[in-house]
Structure 1
């Protein structure tokens, strides 16, 4: 959920939209096509929120990777329009919103830090993915309280976050120079770096959520095709190029030093094979009936 005044270090442009789409498709492949983890059964009249939804459909990514959809559109298309389930995607930047959408889907400009008052107890399922670079440590509790407020009693939230930019103890993976720089940038911008997963679980409980469940997935390219591996490598290189302005502004590297790092990264055939991600955690938590 990027913003000019927030910690999110990547741009909001067509290249970033393509990166997010490729990332989603690869993650979906790693999770064997699964994109809903909360034990929720959506029925007529239910409403679903995708928080920090980013972009829409990329035909290029579909053609290349032979997978379909981003989360909001994927879930919407898995339900017949006759079921009466509606889907809302929100982001603070509308530039990447899709235009060709089913009637049951809408996209709106909102921040997770301040959702509409009219949304209280509105949604049966809320999805949020990879906002670790978009929220500071101090903003996370605010965001989770807002998600709790707009969730219906008995509803579920699912949060997906990765070990990208974490300290090595989070997943036991040794960090490369490029990955250490990502960690330094997130730290400089006040993002949640240390004890990331335990902290999120604790904050969910503090916000009022119960029945917290954790799904862990090691992000591995073992079963990938050569084409998918190359797409993921390109994904990591795109991240590194995208964060360059933020790295330079924060004084973490010189222009010359950053170009040298990019050359090293491009020459390393193993670097970026998992897109800088060693582990992915999905937290599912419920707002109990009152």
Structure 2
């Protein structure tokens, strides 16, 4: 199997191997992944494994170059090293989440830091998933596949169901995948959107952390074994903060999981449509 790559001014673009099975990012083209990693060996390994899995991959060796590549062509997913020289991975992640054009891009963070506090901090900053070095190349590919699969799955569900799921001033638009509170948009990440939707759809019912991992992260079997239910807690905490007073509607069921206790949600149909 051969691998083609060409070097540009801002990074390296890796071509598809001849027999790769393309994995789409919501279109006919294989999903595009931007890898921001300053270690050439790790960057090459990650690019090789993802290219072999059928993805289009571009690498950038630093934060500034990564942001340039990101704005030149919006990727379907970013693999981001947290420890970058110059513009750090944390700063890159913050820039991604602050920009309306990029804040919904899923981000998988790579780091050599293994302490739980570092993992929690990364998730609180808006990472969708977290992988510590050294890591299994197979686990990396599986996590990327899981992230992209759930993104496609929820986008497909939104397109089929349509409508706006409401709870008081809180609205979740299933067509545009946007969340608003009192008419103002709430800048949620894809993972936060999925968590909120699951909770809204199950109003009044407690959802276990394991259930939320499976529903919002598409984490089953071996994939879920590598994730911690603490991950759910960190994303719920960030979601509550973003929702302000509406965040109080997400109740903690101590020792089990979470429950949405806000005003009754309902699907708002287009004017003139009739309920069946």
TM-score with structure 1 setting the length: 0.29
Higher RCO (CA 8 Å, separation ≥ 6 residues): 1
